[in-house]
Structure 1
Amino acid sequence: MNGGYTLFRAHDIRGKREAFAGTEGERLGAALALYFIHTLKATRVVLARDARLGGAELQQQLLSVFCKAGLEVLLEPNPIGTCQFYYACLSHIDAAAVMVTASHNPASYLGMKLVGPNLQVISMGHGPAGGLELIQQLYEANEPINENGRQGSVHMLDTLGSFITYSAELANVGSRDVSGLSVGCDFQHGSAGCAIGRALGELGVHYSALHLIPNGNFPQGDPNPGIEASMQDAKAFLAVKPLPLFFAYDGDGDRMDVLYKGRQLSPSLVLLSIADELVNLNKDGCEPTFLFDVKASPPLLFEMRRRGFKVAIVQPGHSAVKQRMNSSRTDFLLCAAEESAHYYYQLKGMDGTRYASENTLFYTLLILKAYKKNPSLFETARALQDAFYREREWSVSITDEQDRSAFLEKVQLYLLSKGAKAVSHDSRGNSLGATLYRYGLDEGATLSASWFQVFQRLSQSEDNLLRFEVLASDQGLGRSIAEAVKALQSGFHQTR
């Protein structure tokens, strides 16, 4: 805690920009340096940033501290997207890494994403010695670094060209596979546009770009394509120029909404559309498993199984997904999609070793390849999406813990009275990080004529925030369930 600000979150370091002001950046840098050197035994660190306001200043503070601590700094001095950052980590696999970003949060936020050697997840409870838990302890103890040793050096990185080449080769996409297509892109004034736009142009894709220039003021609104207000320009553009495929990326480019014929196609259904392409890239004898987060629709899981694909579900959050993909000893967890529009893949390291991480350029190219080859795949996915009702996620803010518990008890009693079963772990005992209330569903294997699923979770990135979403076999049932849950919110603050 710093001046009333919460910096250490479940998956990263993030807070209002003023929480990093003054010497706080140096204090955080010292905690990171101590963790990298003494716990990770790292001698090198990749240091990058996106275009956020205050990002350059924080990057400079971290650079100074890391050099004083004797670390060799591999520096990306200009704004890049987080997926390009992960590629830089992949290219320097023995290094720890810091990405200065606050992802899709408003312009007033700043933060950092952390990676250990071998693209190891560093978050709260994940990583050596508890990851962020130990870093927070070092920060709160205000431990000094040893400045008496050898001064660290700086090596400049420029990974743009090699990142594009790597991503295209990973997807096995050449100009023959995508040239001639016309698509739209909204980069939300974030940092991914340079790499994605250049890749599309080099491969012969005609793209119309909105909000391409990185701008940490984010004049179009929060750099979050999941917020309707931030997509108004995109919707207006598509009303005039109705392109079949439109991509929208968040502030650091690791979230990607896909709009098919003007409407969002849920990430799980995007994965369904390119499932054959993903399998074709991995014909090495291992039967792959597709991971979906707990909010994935039962019809999607049923359809994946019907087509012969192995599927599993995982709790949301990039740390949890990557940890699950990296730690499996029995299944080859090839890829994953979160309904928040994060996509994951077992990236190939320079020596062929696989590392679970994110690359939206890879997925963009693979989607274009699949669409050019067979557009009907996306039409089929859209028809499946339209076959059930979805009440999009909404949030409720309840500050008092006792009030929050009382509200959740009311929700549980209501849903159980409707015949639902509460599920919080998968069939192997892994936590889902949420509660699913399911009615008319048999572990996602079969569907009855009438069914519903209610997703309930306490946010891990925002304080005191409960998230809900309803899926149902038909609009009448779905709306009645959603309205009943919302009626129980009386007296509490619904945020969106």
Structure 2
Amino acid sequence: MSHVFHPSILREYDIRGVFGETLEVEDARAVGRSFGTMVARRGGHRVVVGRDGRTSSPLLEHALVEGLVASGIDVVRIGVGPTPMLYYAEASMPEVQGGVQVTGSHNPADHNGFKLVFEGSALFGTDIFDLGRLAGEGDWISGSGRVEEADVLPGYVERLLQGLDGVDRAALSVLRIAWDAGNGAAGPAIEALVARLPGEHVLLHTIVDGHFPNHHPDPTVEANLSDLREAVARGSLDFGLAFDGDGDRIGAIDSTGRVVWGDQLLAIFAEDLLRNRPGATVIADVKASSALFHRIAELGGRPEMWKTGHSLIKSRMKQTGSPLAGEMTGHICFGDPYYGFDDAIYAAVQLMAATVRLGRSLTELRDAMPEMKNTPELRFAAPPGRRLAVVEEVLGRLRAAGARVTDIDGARVDTPDGWWLLRASNTQDMLVVRAESRSEEGLARLLAQVDAQLAASGCVRGPEAAH
């Protein structure tokens, strides 16, 4: 037997599609067979499996487990929970070598997919495509694994609470915070955590509901923060926290309702970290604000710009030994003494701790940041088959013109007005643009440069497309 996946679902960082259209139950079974085979050939024999709250997740999880067991892999099922809880289980449970989370992440309710990890490292890139190759060739090991169930939520919450060890409890007890789980898989973990936290806490949308009846669970879209903003204003709270559908992306607003974006949160975490870890490397993706890199250097750290993608960021952390990394999209990764994976709930705990240790409210920390004018991440369809070529053509012209360009992931160009970025999406046939300046006029000039470069390659920016 063999299996061929729809060509669109094998992505750079995970496996993802529209359930009933590009992603079917048989795909889940084939993922289990292929991942089980890969784990077994690398010396493993036990895998932990979790799922989010989407309506299609039980079916996909059942078929995934069938595929793993048919490859001779023993499976530990941990049920519904955030992806970071799956990562925690994989890292902390004895005799477990790999993990799979069934999740559609921050995507619409009819989407779903799989995030995979082996021996503490995310599977991405060539490993993802190797799974497809194994399935296409039917190159599967056969066996008869066993299935057991485990409740890891209490242990996970206990580990989250350790993030507050040594923090002044009296100062924590005066914090007043709103938490919006967006009806995503993080809801029960947030409820269990908050029940044991000092301070006053307001919980929103913690009931897991795969239809997402209140708002879409993506905290990087400001419109999705309106309930949180209202709760903070109504209660005169210190700040609000929001989470995506599987709990690995964090969003935040301060007491005035301003969004504190992922790269701004990373600047706060860097300030907290570098007081005790001077000279440490802090990694941020190529879409992050220049203000972040300047701030890390100013604080005595070593800023490193890296490729966009949570799996790529986590891999780079391991290579460099960096204790902190993140993306503009709200994936924040804490290394030693944590595990180095992106965990939005742990990031929330660390934000509480940082405001106490730094002796300033989130609003005061946000006030101290430079006001930059920037675009959101602008995504638009690339000309057919030209996604990578357009970026290479632009890079060639920029180099020939002597521009200050960073080519680690696309073209990031520094000018007196600020910077702009053009890169090819790793997950879709899209081009991605972002720009930042200190003035609206400067931002307009940066976007004009982008448009001129695109025109020189025979394409135009827009219309913007969804993730």
TM-score (norm 1): 0.83
1:433 aligns with one of 409, 427, 431: 409
1:360 aligns with 2:344: yes
Aligned match of 2:445: 480
Instruction: Give the Å deviation of 1:390.
Output: 1.4
1:25 aligns with 2:28: yes
Instruction: Give the Å deviation of 1:3.
Output: 7.2
Aligned match of 1:172: 165
Aligned match of 2:224: 230
Instruction: Give the Å deviation of 1:209.
Output: 2.0
1:278 aligns with 2:273: yes
2:433 aligns with one of 468, 473, 483: 468
Instruction: Give the Å deviation of 1:154.
Output: 2.2
Q: Tell me how far apart the structure 2 counterparts of residues 323 and 410 of structure 1 sit (CA, whole Å).
A: 28
AA of the residue aligned to 2:243 = Y
Q: Is the 8 A contact 2:46 2:76 kept in 1?
A: yes
Secondary structure in structure 2 of the residue aligned to 1:274: helix
Instruction: Give the Å deviation of 1:287.
Output: 4.4
1:401-454 residue CA offsets vs partner (Å, 9 max, x unmatched)? 34884698579869997x842211xxxxxxx223201114xxxxxxxxxx3110
Q: Is the 8 A contact 1:270 1:381 kept in 2?
A: no
Q: Tell me how far apart the structure 2 counterparts of residues 52 and 178 of structure 1 sit (CA, whole Å).
A: 34
* Structure 1 stretch displaced more, 396-405 or 318-327: 396-405
1:305-357 residue CA offsets vs partner (Å, 9 max, x unmatched)? 222222212111111111111122xxx41111210110011144xxxxx7421
AA of the residue aligned to 1:471 = E
Instruction: Give the Å deviation of 1:399.
Output: 4.0
AA of the residue aligned to 1:323 = S
- 1:43-58 aligned at under 5 Å gives the runs 43-58=45-60
1:220 aligns with one of 199, 209, 214: 214
Q: Is the 8 A contact 2:249 2:343 kept in 1?
A: no
Secondary structure in structure 2 of the residue aligned to 1:53: coil
Q: Tell me how far apart the structure 1 counterparts of residues 357 and 198 of structure 2 sit (CA, whole Å).
A: 16
Q: Is the 8 A contact 1:268 1:292 kept in 2?
A: yes
Structure 1, gaps ≥5 residues long: 126-130, 349-353, 425-431, 441-450
Aligned match of 1:428: none
Change (3 A) 1:185 1:140: same
Change (3 A) 1:2 1:244: farther
Q: Is the 8 A contact 2:6 2:23 kept in 1?
A: no
1:20-46 residue CA offsets vs partner (Å, 9 max, x unmatched)? 3243322222111111112x2111001
Q: Is the 8 A contact 1:254 1:342 kept in 2?
A: yes
1:183 aligns with 2:159: no
Q: Is the 8 A contact 2:405 2:412 kept in 1?
A: yes
1:62 aligns with 2:64: yes
Change (3 A) 1:407 1:113: closer
Q: Tell me how far apart the structure 1 counterparts of residues 258 and 25 of structure 2 sit (CA, whole Å).
A: 44
Secondary structure in structure 2 of the residue aligned to 1:83: helix
Change (3 A) 1:371 1:403: closer
Q: Is the 8 A contact 1:398 1:492 kept in 2?
A: no
Q: Tell me how far apart the structure 1 counterparts of residues 270 and 405 of structure 2 sit (CA, whole Å).
A: 30
Secondary structure in structure 2 of the residue aligned to 1:264: coil
Q: Is the 8 A contact 2:134 2:140 kept in 1?
A: no
Q: Tell me how far apart the structure 2 counterparts of residues 385 and 36 of structure 1 sit (CA, whole Å).
A: 46
AA of the residue aligned to 2:422 = Q
Instruction: Give the Å deviation of 1:391.
Output: 1.9
- Percent identical across equivalent pairs? 23
Q: Tell me how far apart the structure 1 counterparts of residues 28 and 296 of structure 2 sit (CA, whole Å).
A: 46
AA of the residue aligned to 1:456 = L
- 1:51-450 aligned at under 5 Å gives the runs 51-77=53-79, 79-92=80-93, 94-117=96-119, 119-125=120-126, 131-147=127-143, 151-172=144-165, 175-260=169-254, 261-279=256-274, 287-328=279-320, 332-348=321-337, 355-374=339-358, 376=360, 378-379=362-363, 381-402=365-386, 405=389, 409=393, 420-424=403-407, 432-440=408-416
Q: Is the 8 A contact 1:459 1:467 kept in 2?
A: yes
Q: Tell me how far apart the structure 1 counterparts of residues 430 and 440 of structure 2 sit (CA, whole Å).
A: 26
Change (3 A) 1:279 1:107: same
Q: Tell me how far apart the structure 1 counterparts of residues 173 and 140 of structure 2 sit (CA, whole Å).
A: 55
Secondary structure in structure 1 of the residue aligned to 2:375: strand
Q: Tell me how far apart the structure 2 counterparts of residues 91 and 23 of structure 1 sit (CA, whole Å).
A: 30
Q: Is the 8 A contact 2:106 2:218 kept in 1?
A: yes
Q: Is the 8 A contact 1:265 1:385 kept in 2?
A: no
Q: Is the 8 A contact 2:314 2:340 kept in 1?
A: yes
Q: Is the 8 A contact 2:249 2:330 kept in 1?
A: yes
TM-score (norm 2): 0.88
AA of the residue aligned to 1:57 = L
Change (3 A) 1:491 1:391: closer
Q: Tell me how far apart the structure 2 counterparts of residues 452 and 69 of structure 1 sit (CA, whole Å).
A: 53
AA of the residue aligned to 1:108 = D
Q: Tell me how far apart the structure 2 counterparts of residues 364 and 383 of structure 1 sit (CA, whole Å).
A: 19
Structure 2, gaps ≥5 residues long: none
AA of the residue aligned to 1:268 = D
Change (3 A) 1:373 1:326: closer
Secondary structure in structure 2 of the residue aligned to 1:333: coil
Aligned match of 2:463: 493
Secondary structure in structure 2 of the residue aligned to 1:198: helix
AA of the residue aligned to 2:280 = P
Kindly tell me the number of residue pairs found equivalent between the two proteins.
455
